[in-house]
Structure 1
Amino acid sequence: MAPSYLSSSGTPEALPQALTASALKTVSAFKNLSPKQWTFRYAPEKWTPGMILQHLIDTEHIFTYRALCFSRADKTVLPGFDENAYAKIYNQMDLEPEKTCHAFSVTRAATLQLFEACSPLMLGYSGTANNTQWTVNELGWAIVNHNVHHLQILQTQYLSKL
């Protein structure tokens, strides 16, 4: 079952602007972190802001793959993914702030292109991923809402504690 913040959806016409706006806010928030803030954990088992940004990138890749499949009328049922298994690998990655922010920007540019290339009909196509029925439009809004959710966490759980 998807978290409730992923289920909120807007109009297809508003999606490109929402993707662009959330990307600008995200890059601004993460690029302005000090080295201490970039590696801060508010509890031992929690992710660092750098890990959160990589999580946003990974999740966006997965959601855009789902959107690509469904927009092409592919009815293959797609699996979920274990975000915590992915996060364990982040310790092995070079999550340097500038490179990770750039990776996010490049990922978002590709995401925007995918959704802008979809016709209104294609945005209404649907499929199943992680035992949940999604339209292509809903996946686009899930990317935006997931992004906003983690920006709120960055503000309330990280920046407010430093």
Structure 2
Amino acid sequence: MNQRPASNEYAAYHEQYVSLVPEGDLLQLMSQQIKETTDLLRNITDAQGEYRYAPGKWSLKEVIGHMSDTERIMSYRLLRFSRGDQTPLPGFEQDTYVNGAAFELHSVQDLLEELTAVRHATLYQLHGLTDEAWGRAGKFSNNDVTVKGIAYIIAGHQLHHRKIIEELYLSQL
């Protein structure tokens, strides 16, 4: 998949993620991206994983867990729409998911392994799509989105959080 989605293939809110995705083969990028993300965080200790750059902000462990949760949810949406199911889907409240997850009980390494497993599952799903399926659409959070749009949102979401991790977390550790 080398063709970027048009702006009408995802909600305006998601432009902040889609715009981060560089030109090129999306699936190759997503495969490389997970390696880069795990390499970046591989040597983080569990104590460092508890770091919060400000009161009330997520810990580094919570950010990693959030990336997995969000990719799972977006991949589920992608699955539904790619198979032709156009049932509108609701949004989700990210803070509720983070607060309910108890990511602090997990090691950073376990969270990274989970993130990698989730990404591999997403890639398997994307590799199996036909050209027709990439163009199918559905609605979530009251916004129309194509399968291609969701795939770019997934890739951009991880890039977005990796930038935050580099700038606000790792720069302070």
Q: Same fold (TM over 0.5)?
A: yes
- Deviation, 1:81, is 0.1
2:74 corresponds to which residue?
63
The answer to whether the 8 A contact 1:9-1:142 is kept is: no
Q: Residue 159 of structure 2: SS of its match in structure 1?
A: helix
Q: Residue 87 of structure 2: SS of its match in structure 1?
A: coil
Per-residue CA deviations over 1:137-158 (Å, capped at 9, x if unaligned) read 1111111100000000001111
- Residues 1:89 and 2:100 are matched in the alignment: yes
- Deviation, 1:92, is 6.3
1:107 corresponds to which residue?
118
- Residues 1:78 and 2:96 are matched in the alignment: no
| 1:13-52 correspondence runs (5 A) | 14-52=25-63
2:167 corresponds to which residue?
156
Q: Residue 107 of structure 1: SS of its match in structure 2?
A: helix
Q: Residue 145 of structure 2: SS of its match in structure 1?
A: strand
Give the paired residue count: 162
Per-residue CA deviations over 1:53-80 (Å, capped at 9, x if unaligned) read 1000000000000000000111100000
The answer to whether the 8 A contact 2:21-2:156 is kept is: no
1:145 corresponds to which residue?
156
Question: What amino acid sits opposite 1:118 in the alignment?
Answer: L
Per-residue CA deviations over 1:35-67 (Å, capped at 9, x if unaligned) read 332110011101111111100000000000000
Q: TM-score, normalised by structure 1?
A: 0.91
> Structure 2 vs 1, CA of residues 123 and 3 (structure 1 numbering), >3 Å: closer, same or farther?
closer
Gaps of 5+ in 2: 1-10
Q: State how far apart, in whole Å, the 2-side matches of 1:8 and 1:130 are.
A: 20
- Deviation, 1:30, is 2.0
Q: Percent identity?
A: 30
Q: TM-score, normalised by structure 2?
A: 0.86
Q: Residue 46 of structure 1: SS of its match in structure 2?
A: coil
